[in-house]
Amino acid sequence: MDNVPLFEREHRKDSQLVQRLQNELADAKRFVEAQARRQNDLEYVNEDLERRLEQEALDRIKLDAQKADDERRWTQERAMLEEQRDMWEKRCEEESRRRTVIEERLRRAEKELYRMHQKKYDIEKQVRREESEKRKHEAHIVRSLERDQQELRGRAQQNPNSYLSIDPTSTPKTPSPRPCARAKRFPRPWTFSACNAPQEQEDRGSSARRRMDPKIAI
């Protein structure tokens, strides 16, 4: 090393320093280029994020406006539905009261109709009973009159003058009929009833005696 001239040694040192600086400069250049590429990438990502953020903000604003409109519309619809609910509840209560009143009237009408049918049935039953009793009394009166006529004919055949001893005011003995319950409840003087049987029997007996007794007929 001592034999190497000074200028040559300095020249070598300078060459090494230059080489080292060139290498560092190349490394710095590559680093700067990498950083530039990374910066470009980051700027692209930043721009994309800004666009997305702006779009998200616009969408958020639109959603908020739509939400407000929906809430306003839903509030109106809810108020309208509540009014309809109250109206239908009132109608339901009115219909329930009307149904209760109608059912009560229907029950009363059914009871009244049942009473009317029962009364009609009782009246018809009573009329049939009275008709049966009337026919029995008529048959009894007819048999009694026939028996009295047969007795009078027999007495007249046995003793022609026996009819003079008969009291013209007397009436044949017939059992008195039972009082007519229907005549008491529903008096009808223009219809025949078993209650008038004794009077009719007496009239028939008097007519028969007048036909048989010449003096009475005169």
At residue 135, the pLDDT reads 87
At residue 157, the pLDDT reads 77
Angle CA 155–158–159, to nearest 5? 80
Please give the chain's pLDDT, 218 residues, in tens: 456 565 566 666 777 888 888 888 999 999 999 999 999 999 999 999 999 999 999 999 999 999 999 999 999 999 999 999 999 999 999 999 999 999 999 999 999 999 998 888 888 888 888 888 888 888 888 888 888 888 888 777 776 555 455 555 555 555 454 544 444 444 444 444 444 444 545 555 555 455 544 444 43
Question: What is the C-alpha separation between 182 and 31, in angstroms, rounded?
Answer: 137
- pLDDT tens per residue, range 148-165: 888 888 777 776 555 455
At residue 180, the pLDDT reads 46
Q: List the structure tokens of 193.
A: 């009833």
Angle CA 84–87–88, to nearest 5? 85
